[in-house]
Structure 1
Amino acid sequence: MAMVRGACDDIPLTTLFPRLSPADAESLKHAARGVDAARAGEDKAEWEWALDHVAFPGPQPWTPIILGLDVIEHADRGDQLEFLLQVVWTDLGQLAVDAAVNVACWCDTDHAGHDVDALTLVVGGETSLPRAFQTGAERLIGWLADPRDADYWRSRAVLPPRQPC
């Protein structure tokens, strides 16, 4: 799977999502720019996209990502937070927008793999891709405004406290 990386203005939205109207493509760009603005003063966001996932690849043992942003925060104590916003294929061939905060928890269960807060919006019916993406972007922007401290997120998810290394 070859992921291409670039700025939000480089994302070939109408190639990735051929059914998008120009207004819908601009709506997605606007939401992506909002995420980038929420990260002002930090390293430039690198969006990723996979041109080989434009067409539904069929059910996979992994989630086929079409477009995404993965913001990883490292703390001095080896902690890691991951903030995600992705457009993916579901096993049934529907588009979905996933947003999540993941904390690297050093507990014995699900080591480094706890989604502390997550949102999945399946596109279809009354939920359009632009609306789902906007909702996911707003959620991500809110999470990025919260403390970037793994202990804060562990507490919020009632995970065990960090163990010393």
Structure 2
Amino acid sequence: MPGPATSIANVPLHDVLPRHYVAAEDDLRRLAHKLDTHHSAANRTAWHWYPEHADCPPVSSERNYLLLVDTTITLINTGDDWLELTLDIAWRPKLTVNAAVEVACWCPQNHNMHQVREAHWQVAGRHDLADAFTASTAMLTDVLNSGPFDPCAWRVWAGLPHAPAARQ
């Protein structure tokens, strides 16, 4: 897993994207740059890429989730609790753009994290990829612009248990 990189500028998208989707590279870079440079995301972004997953996997199942590129914007991380925004392009089993707001899990059975807001867009071509990436960056930018930046507020919204009082 190459990375992390703090900017999409350091991600070799031409090596990561399937060859029929490489023409969307400029659009993806332009959109991702807006996330990288957003004042609420500054110095909080980590990009990873997986060129070995560029080709569609020969065996597909609903359980497959092969990342091509992903980013995490860590808004809060206290060591015990966190709030992150994530965006990725992955085979699921079809090529899909995914975006989410994630919080630490405080359920009796630890799930590690919960996606309290998520969206997925399957893509069939370079234009679909650019459109899906546009929608995903818009979703994350909306959170960056308006918050909340408190994981507890997102847990309340999603009906999830709160962190133990000593850890909040």
Counterpart position of 1:117: 117
Q: Secondary structure at the match of 2:69?
A: strand
Q: Which residue of 2 aligns with 1:82?
A: 84
Sequence identity (%): 25
Q: What amino acid maps onto 1:124 in structure 2? A: A
CA shift at 1:95, angstroms? 0.8
Structure 2 partner of 1:156: 157
| Matching residue's letter, 1:106 | W
How far does the alpha carbon of each residue in 1:36-60 deviate from its partner, in whole angstroms, 9 at most, with x for none? 1224573163311101111123337
CA distance in 2, matches of 1:8, 1:152: 30
1 CA distance for matches of 2:27 and 2:43? 24
How many Å apart are 1:28 and its aligned residue? 0.6
1: CA distance between counterparts of 2:33 and 2:134?
Answer: 11
TM-score of the two chains, using structure 2 as the length reference: 0.82
Cα distance, 1:83 vs. partner?
1.1
Question: The residue matched to 2:165 in structure 1 has which SS?
Answer: coil
Letter in 2 for 1:130: A
- The aligned counterpart of 2:72 is 70
- The alpha-carbon distance between structure 1 residues 126 and 42, as it changes in their structure 2 partners (threshold 3 A), is closer
Partner in structure 2 of residue 108 of structure 1: 108
**Would you say the 8 A contact 1:14–1:20 is kept in 2?**
no
| Structure 1 position 28 matched with structure 2 position 28 | yes
Deviations 1:46-103 (A, max 9, x none): 3111011111233375511001101223354821112100000012xx2100001111
Residue 125 and residue 25 in structure 1: after superposition, are their counterparts in 2 closer, same or farther (change >3 A)? closer
CA separation of 1:125 and 1:3: change in aligned 2, threshold 3 A: closer
Which structure 2 residue ranges, 5 or more long, are not aligned?
none
TM-score (norm 1): 0.84
Amino acid in the other structure paired with 2:47: W
**C-alpha separation in 2, matches of 1:63 and 1:39:** 31
Structure with bigger helix share is: 2
**Does structure 2 retain, via aligned residues, the 8 Å contact 1:105–1:154?**
no
Which residue of structure 1 aligns with residue 3 of structure 2? 4
80-89 vs 123-132, which moves further: 123-132
